[in-house]
């Protein structure tokens, strides 16, 4: 799986390749590019909110566009493609097949992402990543909204193609000697998240078509004047995007399952409960979508049903956390950079999950809904868990991709700064939400507690930003000039774990 960056190939050979590691490299580079672009917008947003009043962003429309594109970019153009990157590298090797099941389809799925990203960034829409009608149907500026909708269609098709590819690769192409129940948990995570994608994403695809025809004035699905209902869109949207958060988090957990046993020098505590929890999560993911909509005027019975559905997702996540801790228990742990990211990710996963339990309780939801609590809660998931797992895994993949070692001290500095920054930003945002600061606001009331909390959060964001600069310098410098890695055992852990690292599928 070494990409032989030491013996560089011309860029077009990688770009036109259908080999799974090449497509994985393209996914990695694209998703990281969008990570830095979306992160830059986040820093802009935090800088604007440092003081009440107008700071660096000239008007609220620009601000609204910034947070819309920030969210869309980081979810659809960083997290999802990054998971595909890891899947592309590892799934074929883990199921012992020469490539993905459909290599050309794989390349096609990747090449839909850059045009989708271009549409989102060139349009720069302003209706938040929910695109809730009637606002998105009547008020949003024309080309931007249409470009956003079209980009989402493209990205949706791309993720469905990718999901089909993973499912077929795992179920149909795995080596006959490898029973599915013994397949590594990372492969299982891709199987479950791909199944969610296939069930969930078509719903949103339908909603987008309905939204587009509403915008064109030929239908009124979401327009009460024409007999429609704006809440219908929210149901369709959340039926896709509540499960979608599990699509993001399940591969990240799978990545931790790869890192933690290896750096604890112990087998995973329970392979079976890991599989069980993945499957449970992907089923109950669908039972909780309307907990995003308690305040839209639901009946008491509906609210109760969805509260129970939401709470049902918690034990499965708790099983993963237990599995991680039980694996580390009594292990000879080596806190190299990937392990630090994974363990930090677990800690933040636990905090975010605890906040989620509190939030699913109906009365509490009315305090926190659409406040900064929610912003803090889901950012703790996406940054604290998913991005931490992903970044840790990228450090883990680094020697296998480049044949060189990253700088360990810089990696640790990156982790510590990011962890401190994440706690500063997102724990503070929980508190801000309890004080009642609404989300998606360009300006806030100059109350002393708002100002202090926002400033802590903004400073934390700058710390994260600085740590990411260290990261990118480390990655670029080390991939060119880093110490050559011992490919058998880059971290000196001794012994081989689980899957054949030396395996490298030949180019074809």
Residue 16 in contact with other proteins, rule: CB under 8 A = no
The torsion angle over the Cα atoms of residues 253, 177, 97 and 82, rounded to 10 degrees, is 0
| Cα–Cα distance, 152 to 234 (Å, whole number) | 16
What letter does residue 485 receive in the DSSP assignment?
A: P
Residue 363 in contact with other proteins, rule: CB under 8 A = yes
| Cα–Cα distance, 298 to 213 (Å, whole number) | 27
Candidates 216, 445, 469, 472: give the one binding other proteins (CB under 8 A): 445
Tokens standing for residue 239:
């039926």
Closest C-alpha among 247, 307, 256 to residue 281: 247
Residues paired with residue 404 on neighbouring β-strands, in sequence order:
484
Site string for other proteins, 223-262 (x = CB under 8 A): -xx---xxx-------------------------------
Residue 217 in contact with other proteins, rule: CB under 8 A = no
Residue 370 in contact with other proteins, rule: CB under 8 A = yes
Residue 72 in contact with other proteins, rule: CB under 8 A = no
- Burial label for 265, CB within 10 Å (0-12, 13-18, 19+), is middle
Task: Give the CA distances from residue 157 to residues 117, 144, 181, 249, 442, in Å, rounded to whole numbers and listed in that order.
Answer: 14, 20, 29, 20, 33
Residue 308 in contact with other proteins, rule: CB under 8 A = yes
Tokens standing for residue 249:
């988090």
Residue 366 in contact with other proteins, rule: CB under 8 A = yes
Task: Give the CA distances from residue 213 to residues 130, 139, 200, 206, 293, in Å, rounded to whole numbers and listed in that order.
Answer: 17, 15, 21, 11, 24
Residue 315 in contact with other proteins, rule: CB under 8 A = yes
Secondary structure tally for the chain: helices H, strands E: 19, 0
Site string for other proteins, 122-161 (x = CB under 8 A): ----xxx---x-xx--xx----------------------
Residue 56 in contact with other proteins, rule: CB under 8 A = no
CB of 455 to other proteins, least distance (A): 18
Q: Which is nearer to other proteins, 135 or 286 (CB)?
A: 135
Q: Which is nearer to other proteins, 69 or 85 (CB)?
A: 69
Q: Which is nearer to other proteins, 123 or 403 (CB)?
A: 123
Task: Give the CA distances from residue 500 to residues 5, 93, 144, 182, in Å, rounded to whole numbers and listed in that order.
Answer: 20, 8, 47, 14
Site string for other proteins, 375-414 (x = CB under 8 A): ----------------------------------------
Residue 291 in contact with other proteins, rule: CB under 8 A = no
Residues paired with residue 371 on neighbouring β-strands, in sequence order:
438
Q: Which helix (H) or strand (E) holds 271?
A: helix 271-284
Q: Which is nearer to other proteins, 15 or 441 (CB)?
A: 441
Tell me which residues touch other proteins (CB under 8 A): 60-61, 64, 126-128, 132, 134-135, 138-139, 224-225, 229-231, 267, 269-273, 295-297, 300, 303-304, 307-308, 311, 314-315, 318-319, 322-323, 326, 357-358, 360-364, 366-367, 369-371, 436, 438-445
């Amino acid at each position: 799986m070494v990409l032989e960056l030491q013996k560089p190939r011309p860029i077009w050979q990688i770009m036109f390749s259908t080999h799974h590691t090449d497509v994985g490299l393209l996914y990695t580079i694209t998703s990281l590019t969008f990570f830095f672009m979306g992160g830059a917008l986040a820093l802009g947003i935090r800088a604007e909110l440092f003081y009440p009043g107008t700071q660096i962003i000239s008007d609220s429309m620009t601000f609204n566009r910034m947070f819309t594109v920030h969210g869309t970019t980081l979810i659809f153009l960083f997290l999802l493609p990054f998971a595909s990157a890891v899947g592309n590298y590892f799934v074929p090797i883990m199921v012992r097949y020469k490539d993905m099941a459909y290599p050309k389809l794989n390349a096609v799925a990747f090449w839909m992402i850059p045009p989708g990203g271009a549409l989102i960034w060139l349009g720069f829409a302003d209706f938040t990543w929910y695109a809730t009608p009637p606002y998105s149907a009547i008020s949003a500026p024309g080309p931007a909204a249409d470009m956003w909708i079209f980009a989402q269609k493209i990205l949706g098709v791309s993720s469905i193609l990718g999901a089909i590819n993973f499912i077929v690769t795992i179920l149909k192409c795995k080596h006959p000697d490898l029973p599915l129940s013994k397949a590594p948990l990372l492969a299982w995570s891709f199987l479950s998240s791909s199944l969610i994608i296939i069930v969930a994403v078509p719903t949103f695809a339908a909603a987008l078509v309905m939204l587009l025809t509403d915008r064109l004035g030929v239908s009124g699905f979401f327009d009460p004047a024409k007999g429609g209902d704006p809440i219908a869109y929210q149901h369709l949207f959340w039926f896709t995007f509540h499960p979608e958060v599990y699509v993001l988090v399940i591969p990240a957990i799978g990545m931790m399952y790869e890192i933690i046993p290896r750096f604890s020098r112990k087998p995973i505590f329970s392979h079976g409960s890991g599989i069980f929890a993945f499957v449970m999560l992907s089923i109950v993911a669908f039972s909780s979508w309307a907990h995003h909509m308690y305040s839209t005027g639901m009946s008491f019975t509906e609210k109760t049903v969805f509260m129970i559905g939401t709470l049902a997702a918690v034990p499965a996540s708790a099983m993963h956390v237990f599995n991680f801790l039980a694996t580390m228990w009594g292990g000879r742990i080596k806190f190299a950079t990937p392990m630090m990211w994974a363990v930090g990710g677990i800690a933040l996963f636990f905090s975010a999950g605890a906040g989620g339990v509190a939030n699913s309780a109906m009365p509490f939801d009315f305090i926190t809904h659409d406040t900064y609590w929610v912003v803090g809660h889901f950012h703790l998931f996406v940054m604290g868990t998913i991005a931490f797992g992903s970044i840790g895994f990228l450090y883990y993949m680094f020697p296998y991709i480049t044949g060189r070692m990253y700088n360990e001290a810089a990696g640790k500095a990156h982790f510590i700064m990011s962890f401190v920054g994440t706690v500063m930003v997102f724990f503070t945002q929980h508190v801000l939400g309890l004080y009642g600061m609404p989300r998606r606001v360009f300006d806030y009331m100059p109350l002393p507690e708002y100002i202090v909390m926002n400033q802590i959060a903004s400073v934390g964001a700058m710390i994260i930003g600085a740590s990411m600069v260290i990261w990118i310098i480390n990655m670029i410098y080390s991939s060119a000039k880093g110490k050559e890695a011992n490919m058998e055992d880059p971290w000196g852990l001794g012994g081989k774990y689980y899957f054949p690292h030396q395996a490298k599928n030949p180019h074809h």
